[in-house]
Amino acid sequence: MDHLKFYIDGAWVDPAVPATLDVINPATETAFARISLGSKQDVDRAVDAARRAFDTYAGTPVEERLGYLRRIIDGFRARLPELARMMTLEMGAPITFSTERQATVALFHFEEALRVLAEFPFEEKMGSGILRREPIGVCGLITPWNWPLNQVASKVAPAIATGCTVVLKPSEIAPLSAMLFAEIVHEAGLPAGVFNLVNGDGPTVGEAIAAHPGIDMVSFTGSTGAGIRVAKLAADTVKRVAQELGGKSANILMPDVDIRAAVIAGVHACNTNAGQNCQSPTRMLIPRIHRDVAFDAAREAIASIRLGDPLSPASTMGPLVSQAQYDKVQALIQAGIDDGATLVAGGLGRPDGLEHGYYVRPTVFGDVTPDMRIAREEIFGPVLSILSYDTEDDAVAIANDTPFGLAGFVQCTDLQHARKVASRIRAGRVYLNGAPFDRSLPFGGYKQSGNGREFGVFGFEEYLEVKAIVGYPI
């Protein structure tokens, strides 16, 4: 499956300089497609198209933009099984998960953008004048491989809803679902130049987007290190930068909960998407007196995970996305062993019977201390660290003892008490008692987990400038 063209100015075009990259199926370790790698010239062409389109598109009536969103939603729904299968092939998520979560949650962002746009007050009276919210301009969007379509949708949907134009660089590791999405956008009749897609790697296309003087805003999701690089490149042109970066989220189990049930749920939450989630609850904090019960429950949860062919509905976990990711996770499992943590379940190497593919053994460490590498570094794989605490103050201190601040989790039978604990956690989103995903609430981090917010009204406003018109008669 060769996808060698870029989508620029409403058409599929050849790259300026021919260069290709294989797309690897992580379950088989073999190439199944090729894409072109873009260059600065391709970014220039895409930015020029977006710049021209913005002059007109920024002034389109709300009802017209609602129409575009509705047609994208219809096209998305019609091709959802195809999108889901493509994500399974390119990044290894089990087909059931790709269908029910990866593709469906991506669709949610367009439905939410439609809802917000229909009700949003772009202009209101304030003081002696008028407050206007206007589209920020041309937006460079750089998205990751772990939720390849969800992160595209969480940025593209509010950008085009607000009247912005975009240049998208999806991850070169998992780019094909984004290219299918570009076909949906084209079929929806979005004006030429409003949406543009250029494939490529971070050092070339990503950095060209971040530094480009014709781009007014860059929204980046990825590692903290890469986010720092994007921010530095963007600083020279003083463009707005929105970032969703790394995480090392704590899951505090209070003494009054059913420890066995809470541990089992926490293990499965950590292993969602093979642990390749920025907000995964990868540090489980348990009362010290419940150590043995927690370890037994963790082993029970790990034993229920079914690893295998991600195209089989029987599989609940697939491989990691790449050899590089596999090697990183193996190295950190070894670090946990070397640092003296107790190996509760899993460990080094591939699972039995899976000799090919980037599969790892879902792993749980106990007796982890806050200074260990596995308690401090974002592993981005199915590895859980269980830390013990003596008092609630200890638990909160351990939870906050991290450079990250993306999410937190609190399990407590007393909801008011849970809320008090949540208010002490330095993170952008805190889930109480296994609360489900809510697309209307803001998502983003404190500290080195980034800045800015996605989802709902807060994500919508990231793509707007605020203008005061002073002296307008009331």
Q: Are residues 130 and 215 in the same domain?
A: yes
Alpha helices in 284-424 (DSSP H): 291-303, 323-338, 373-376, 392-400, 415-424
Q: Are residues 207 and 304 in the same domain?
A: no
- Active-site residue, selected from the candidate residues 112, 172, 207, 244: 244
Pick out the chain residues at pLDDT < 70: 474
Q: Are residues 112 and 233 in the same domain?
A: yes
How are strands ordered across the β-sheet holding 464-470?
123-126, 129-135, 464-470
Q: Are residues 255 and 241 in the same domain?
A: no
- Which residue reads 């750089």 in tokens? 142
> Is residue 403 within 8 Å of residue 426, measured between CB atoms?
no
> Is residue 154 within 8 Å of residue 178, measured between CB atoms?
no
- Which residue reads 């993306």 in tokens? 406
Q: How far apart are CA 432 and CA 420, in angstroms?
A: 11
Q: Are residues 272 and 415 in the same domain?
A: yes
Catalytic (active site) residue 164: no
pLDDT at 474: 65
Q: What is the number of domains present in the chain? A: 2
pLDDT at 472: 87
Please give the distance of CA 39 from its chain centroid, rounded to a whole number: 25
Instruction: Report the CATH number at residue 307.
Output: 3.40.309.10
Catalytic (active site) residue 278: yes
Q: Are residues 38 and 66 in the same domain?
A: yes
> Is residue 312 within 8 Å of residue 20, measured between CB atoms?
no
- Active-site residue, selected from the candidate residues 207, 278, 378, 454: 278
Q: Are residues 298 and 332 in the same domain?
A: yes
- Which residue range forms the structural domain that includes residue 231? 2-245+448-470
> Is residue 279 within 8 Å of residue 249, measured between CB atoms?
yes
Query: How far is the CA of 429 from the CAs of 104, 355, 423, 447, in angstroms?
Result: 21, 38, 10, 13
Q: Are residues 429 and 463 in the same domain?
A: no
How are strands ordered across the β-sheet holding 138-142?
11-13, 6-8, 195-197, 165-169, 138-142, 217-221, 240-244, 450-451
pLDDT in tens, 278-304: 999 999 999 999 999 999 999 999 999
SS3 219: strand
pTM for the whole thing?
0.97
